[in-house]
Amino acid sequence: MAEKQVSINMNIAMITNPILFQLLVGVLIGLGAGYLGSFMILKRMSLVGDVISHVALPGIALALIFEINPFFGAFAALFLAVVGIWFLEIKTELPSETLVGIFFALSLAIGILITPEPELLEALFGDITKIGSADVFMTIALIIVMFFAMFRIYRGLTLSVVSKQLAQSMGINVSKISFLFLLLVAIIVALGLKVTGIFLMGALVIVPAAAAKNISIGLARFTKLAALFGGISALGGILFANHFGLHPGPIIVLTSGVIFLLTLLFKK
Partner 1 sequence: MIRILMANQETILTVENLGVKFDNNEVLKGLSFFVKKGDVLAIVGPNGSGKSVLFRALLNLVPYSGKIQWAPGLKVSYVPQKFNIDKELPLSVQEFFKFKEKNSKKIISALKSVGITDEHHIEHHILKERLGWLSGGQLQRILIAWSIIDNPDVLLFDEPTAGIDVGGEETIYNLLKKLKDERGFTILLISHDLNIVYKYANNVICVNKEMICYGEPNSVLDPTALANLYGGEAGFYKHEHSHDH
Q: Applying CB under 8 A, which residues contact partner 1?
A: 42, 44, 155, 158-159, 161-163, 165-166, 168-170, 213, 216-222
Residue 41 or residue 78: which is nearer to partner 1 going by CB? 41
For partner 1, give the closer residue by CB, 4 or 268. Answer: 268
Tell the smallest beta-carbon distance from residue 205 to partner 1 (Å): 17
Q: For partner 1, give the closer residue by CB, 129 or 168.
A: 168
Q: Is the Cβ of residue 168 or residue 242 nearer to partner 1 in the bound state?
A: 168
Measured from the CB of residue 257, what is the shortest distance to partner 1 in angstroms?
Answer: 20
Question: CA-CA distance, 257 to 253, in Å (whole number)?
Answer: 6
DSSP string of the chain? -HHHHHHHHHHHHHHS-HHHHHHHHHHHHHHHHHHHHHHHHHTT-HHHHHHGGGGHHHHHHHHHHTT--HHHHHHHHHHHHHHHHHHHHHHH-S--HHHHHHHHHHHHHHHHHHS-HHHHHHHHH--GGG--HHHHHHHHHHHHHHHHHHHHHHHHHHHHHH-HHHHHHTT--HHHHHHHHHHHHHHHHHHHHHHHHHHHHHHHHHHHHHHHHHT-SSHHHHHHHHHHHHHHHHHHHHHHHHHHT--HHHHHHHHHHHHHHHHHTT--
Give min distance, CB of 219 to partner 1, in A. 5
Residue with smaller CB distance to partner 1, 1 or 162? 162
Report how far residue 146's alpha carbon sits from residue 178's, in angstroms, rounded to the nearest whole number: 14
Q: Return the number of the residue (178 or 196) whose C-beta is nearest partner 1.
A: 178
* Least distance CB 158 / partner 1 (angstroms): 7
Burial of residue 240 (CB within 10 Å: 0-12, 13-18, 19+) is middle
> Cβ of residue 221: shortest distance to partner 1, in angstroms?
8
- Our CB check for partner 1 shows the closer of 1 and 220 to be 220
Nearest Cα to Cα of residue 264 among 215, 220, 230, 207? 215
**In the complex, what is the shortest distance from the CB of residue 91 to partner 1, in angstroms, rounded to a whole number?**
12
At its nearest, how many Å lie between partner 1 and the CB of residue 174?
10
